[in-house]
């Protein structure tokens, strides 16, 4: 673990976060550990060693360009869900051949961009396929596609992060797959090269990946039997992380182990993790504005909020919360809340914590995934800065927004 406590003081790699807070001063901010990011990616690389497999990091989890460069240098590919993610991946130096563009509602300009760069495309629906065929004809070059299958597998996660169930908006139901093969047969410009599914996110029980691998392996073989040069079997991302800090959690090796024996020999496996690569590599650092009590609830009010980290408000998600240095005052049960004008604005509920003084540094752990990526300007708040620790070095890897960034629209009509 690259974020750790020593004598009650929080460290990131070789640096004390208290020292970082003194240098940076402006809170809240995100803080990442390069070593943790590398370790998390390397866990996948080791789990896949000796297999015909590729890791396509899902940019949606965190698309900070510096973190992307680190992952690209480690050999990662990129899974994208918007034209701008594609542009960001290009800027971070990913080769178009190592990118896959996903999505259930791709716009024509986004498809054109992907087609012009020769990025692999996921087909999500009948209309999506028709748009892809039109774009292939417009650019007059062959496009390689995967069909995204809706496997109807229940991953036992919050309904907002389950994506592969019967009534989900994503993918193509297996029984309709043959219709897509019929449609593709007479269209040589659109070449079917693989199949894809993604079950959801924050998955704790890797047995669902075994079910997915078995189903997708059968469909892969069916595609080949029908004469298609199907090569890629993309089983998505979705491995959860140990937000509760229990110390017991499935690893990438457990995930790959669950699927390994079920993959067809001639398949190249693609996995597209996001959270399990970047989640534990980042924390949110805030300052305490004050402490108050209403009714029978005690509140720690911080300068961090749902606009920096939406997950608790959006999914009731748990993030471990602590202080960056020892605090020796009465322990009470606190809700940790922000200044945003919403009762849903909280970072943690009912936590046993010592009563902090004003200005104390508070850390929200495991905030590297879907943290900054989901941040907003609600209440006209400015997005925070991002910093990276690499050994004993501290780098700013994104500046905080300023009021001027919020006034890009001309004020006069």
Ligand X SMILES: Cc1ncc(COP(=O)(O)O)c(C=O)c1O
Candidates 126-134, 270-278, 283-291, 354-362 — which segment interacts with ligand X by CB under 6 A? 270-278
Candidates 37-45, 235-243, 256-264, 316-324 — which segment interacts with ligand X by CB under 6 A? 235-243
For residue 139, the minimal CB distance to ligand X (Å) is 24
Measured distance CA(151)–CA(173) in Å, rounded: 7
With CB under 6 A as the contact rule, the residue among 83, 273, 348, 356 that binds ligand X is 273
For residue 79, the minimal CB distance to ligand X (Å) is 5
| Burial (0-12, 13-18, 19+ Cβ within 10 Å), 293 | exposed
Candidates 123-131, 245-253, 268-276, 379-387 — which segment interacts with ligand X by CB under 6 A? 268-276
DSSP string, 9-54: EEEETTEEHHHHHHHH-S-SEEEEEHHHHHHHHHHHHHHTTTSSEE
For residue 412, the minimal CB distance to ligand X (Å) is 41
CB 213 within 8 A of CB 263: yes
For residue 408, the minimal CB distance to ligand X (Å) is 29
> Pattern of binders to ligand X over 142-181, x per CB under 6 A?
---------------------x------------------
42 φ, ψ to 5°?
Answer: -65, -30
Q: Which helix (H) or strand (E) holds 185?
A: none
Positions marked active-site: 341
Q: Is 383 in the site for ligand X (CB under 6 A)?
A: no
Q: Which is nearer to ligand X, 157 or 301 (CB)?
A: 157
Measured distance CA(199)–CA(212) in Å, rounded: 8
Q: Which helix (H) or strand (E) holds 154?
A: none
Measured distance CA(163)–CA(236) in Å, rounded: 11
Torsion angle, CA of 256/69/378/300, rounded to 10 degrees?
70
Q: Which is nearer to ligand X, 104 or 221 (CB)?
A: 104
Q: Is 58 in the site for ligand X (CB under 6 A)?
A: yes
Q: Which is nearer to ligand X, 276 or 313 (CB)?
A: 276
* DSSP strands (E only) in 69-189: 77-80, 99-101, 120-123, 143-150, 172-173
With CB under 6 A as the contact rule, the residue among 275, 298, 381, 383 that binds ligand X is 275
Q: Is 82 in the site for ligand X (CB under 6 A)?
A: no
Q: Is 274 in the site for ligand X (CB under 6 A)?
A: yes
CB 282 within 8 A of CB 66: no
Residues 329-358 that bind ligand X (CB under 6 A): none
With CB under 6 A as the contact rule, the residue among 36, 102, 302, 313 that binds ligand X is 102
With CB under 6 A as the contact rule, the residue among 77, 151, 171, 237 that binds ligand X is 237
Chain-centre distance of CA 169, in angstroms? 19
Measured distance CA(54)–CA(232) in Å, rounded: 10
Looking at the DSSP bridge assignments, the partners of residue 100 are 79, 120
CB 202 within 8 A of CB 154: no
For residue 84, the minimal CB distance to ligand X (Å) is 16
Q: Which is nearer to ligand X, 201 or 313 (CB)?
A: 201
Q: Which of 39, 81, 34, 31 is nearest to 56 (CA)?
A: 81
With CB under 6 A as the contact rule, the residue among 28, 236, 304, 312 that binds ligand X is 236
Q: Is 306 in the site for ligand X (CB under 6 A)?
A: no
3-class SS at 390?
strand
For residue 336, the minimal CB distance to ligand X (Å) is 24
Chain-centre distance of CA 165, in angstroms? 20
Q: How many residues bind ligand X (CB under 6 A)?
A: 18
Q: Is 272 in the site for ligand X (CB under 6 A)?
A: yes
Residues 188-227 that bind ligand X (CB under 6 A): 198, 201
For residue 311, the minimal CB distance to ligand X (Å) is 12
For residue 410, the minimal CB distance to ligand X (Å) is 36
Chain positions contacting ligand X, by CB under 6 A: 58, 60-61, 79, 102, 163, 198, 201, 236-239, 272-276, 369
């Amino acid at each position: 673990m690259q974020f750790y406590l020593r004598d009650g003081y929080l460290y990131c790699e070789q640096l004390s976060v208290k020292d970082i807070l003194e240098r940076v001063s402006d809170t809240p901010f995100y803080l990442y550990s390069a070593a943790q990011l590398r370790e998390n990616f390397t866990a996948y690389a080791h789990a896949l060693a000796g297999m015909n497999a590729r890791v396509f990091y899902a940019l949606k989890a965190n698309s900070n360009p510096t973190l992307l460069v680190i992952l690209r240098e480690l050999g990662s590919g990129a899974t994208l869900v918007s034209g701008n993610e594609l542009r960001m991946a290009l800027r971070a130096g990913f080769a178009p051949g190592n990118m896959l563009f996903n999505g259930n509602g791709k716009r024509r300009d986004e498809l054109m961009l992907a087609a012009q760069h020769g990025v692999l495309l996921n087909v999500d629906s009948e209309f999506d396929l028709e748009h892809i065929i039109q774009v292939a004809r417009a650019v007059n070059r062959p496009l390689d596609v995967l069909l995204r299958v809706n496997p109807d597998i229940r991953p036992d996660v919050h309904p907002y992060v389950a994506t592969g169930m019967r009534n989900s908006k994503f993918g193509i139901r297996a029984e309709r797959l043959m219709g897509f093969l019929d449609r593709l047969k007479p269209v040589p410009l659109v070449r079917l090269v693989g199949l894809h599914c993604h079950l959801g996110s924050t998955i704790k029980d890797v047995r669902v990946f075994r079910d997915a691998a078995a189903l997708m392996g059968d469909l892969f073989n069916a595609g080949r039997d029908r004469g298609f040069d199907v090569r890629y079997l993309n089983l998505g991302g979705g491995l959860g992380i140990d937000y509760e800090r229990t110390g017991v959690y499935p690893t990438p090796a457990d995930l790959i182990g669950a699927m390994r024996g079920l993959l067809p020999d001639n398949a190249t496996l693609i996995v597209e993790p996001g959270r399990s690569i970047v989640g534990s590599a980042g924390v949110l650092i805030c300052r305490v504005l004050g402490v108050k009590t209403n009714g029978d609830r005690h509140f720690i009010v911080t300068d961090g909020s749902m606009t920096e980290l939406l997950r608790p408000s959006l999914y009731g998600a748990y993030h471990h919360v602590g202080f960056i240095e020892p605090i020796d005052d009465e322990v009470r049960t606190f809700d940790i809340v922000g200044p945003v004008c919403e009762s849903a604005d909280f970072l943690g509920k009912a936590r046993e914590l010592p009563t902090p003084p004003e200005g104390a540094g508070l850390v929200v752990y495991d905030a590297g995934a879907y943290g900054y990526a989901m941040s907003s300007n609600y209440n006209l708040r400015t997005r925070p800065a991002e910093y990276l620790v690499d050994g004993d070095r501290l780098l700013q890897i994104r500046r905080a927004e300023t009021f001027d960034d919020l006034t890009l629209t001309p004020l006069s009509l």
